Amino acid sequence: MVISSNDLRPGVTVRVDHDILSVVESMHVKPGKGAAFVRTKLKSLKTGNTIEKTFRAGERLDDAVIEKKEMQYLFKAGESFTLMDNESYEQFEVTSEQIGSKYKYLKEQMNVLIIYCDGQILGIEVPNFVELKITETPPGVRGDTAASNNKPATLETGAVISVPFFVNTGDTVRVDTRNDSYLDRV
């Protein structure tokens, strides 16, 4: 399918130079002299890199159809992660490069969204908020409750986040996976 550069809006995905790109920003520019053009900021769904690219107004681009499918994370074996399709119960193995940095929040039996295009896995979406147990953190010092002071904590999945001093080993915390931040104790 073909899409016009005039129709580029945030969230639209296109193929450019053998890469699948998602539009982050777009601006239609009509200079006083010369032809109109579309200035865009695009994010590669394969690598995560952001580029700026300019297209002529009305230029034809290939549309990329992105599909999302809910799957369940089963387990990790070496460097591969095993996922199960919730509808067909078929199991798939993916690598940490395919998953991206969100693998550090994967917990067994967690449902995730697999993002793919033309049968190729581009990445995963984990829930925005996950509840995980703290396996290791230094003990808090009594009376040290300054709001800006934090300490590192290792979660059950191996991820390390910054938590307030009153959080202890064994506590379950809610984490925002979009920015790797502590929200609250559960």
DSSP 8-state symbol, 108: T
Q: Which residue has the tokens 């969100």?
A: 102
CA-CA-CA-CA torsion sign (119, 122, 128, 132): positive
What one-character-per-residue DSSP string does 51-88 give? EEEEEETT-EEEE---EEEEEEEEEEETTEEEEEETTT
Burial class for 152, CB neighbours closer than 10 Å (0-12, 13-18, 19+): exposed
Measured CA angle at 72 (ends 67, 75), to 5 deg? 125
Helix (H), strand (E) at residue 113 = strand 111-117
To 5 degrees, how large is the angle CA 91–CA 92–CA 93? 130
Q: What domains are there in the chain, each with its CATH number? A: 2-63 (2.30.30.30), 67-125 (2.40.50.140), 129-185 (2.40.50.140)
Over 90: is that where the pLDDT of 133 sits? Answer: yes
Beta carbons of 130 and 176 less than 8 angstroms apart = no
Q: Please choose, from the candidates 57, 59, 60, 81, the residue with its C-alpha nearest in 3D space to the C-alpha of residue 71.
A: 81
Q: Could you tell me the pTM of the whole model?
A: 0.71
**Residue 135's pLDDT is what?**
93
| Residues 31-87: tens digit of each pLDDT | 988 899 999 999 988 777 899 999 999 999 998 888 889 999 999 888 888 999 989
Q: What is the mean pLDDT of residues 16-41?
A: 91
Model confidence at 10: pLDDT above 60: yes
For 15, residues 6+ apart whose C-beta sits below 8 A from its C-beta are 21, 61, 62, 63, 64
